[in-house]
Amino acid sequence: MLQLICKRLQNERVKLKMTQEELANKVGITSKSQSNYELGKRYPDAKYLAGAAQSGVDINYVVTGSHCLPEEKMQTVVELEEKLKEVMALLEVLKGNQ
């Protein structure tokens, strides 16, 4: 499990086009600590994970392996659900008129 988290953390950093040192500086740790997290020599703590999330790391993916939907896509999903409810209500009305 730890190895998966380490690899995902590294994947996220690379996706953000950051070096270990750059991410470490943004999160407020040493580059050695960042390296240790990515190599599985240490577990990242909650403070680190919060800082990484603020730096653009998808922490849900790092921890669970599932990506979060970006906010704009989530809004689209919510809008589609609302439209679907409207269509379903309209279908019910039409059924009642037959």
Residue 62 pLDDT > 70:
yes
Determine if residue 56 is left, alpha or beta; phi over 0 gives left, psi from -120 to 50 gives alpha, anything else beta: left
Among the ranges given (17-21, 39-43, 73-77), the one the predictor scored with the smallest mean pLDDT: 73-77
Check residue 87 and give its pLDDT.
76
Q: What residue spans define the domains of the chain?
A: 1-67, 69-98
Nearest residue to 62 via CA among 53, 54, 70: 53
Q: What is the pLDDT of residues 37-47, one digit of tens each?
A: 999 999 889 89
- The whole model's pTM is what? 0.68
Name the CATH architecture for the domain at 1-67.
Orthogonal Bundle (1.10)
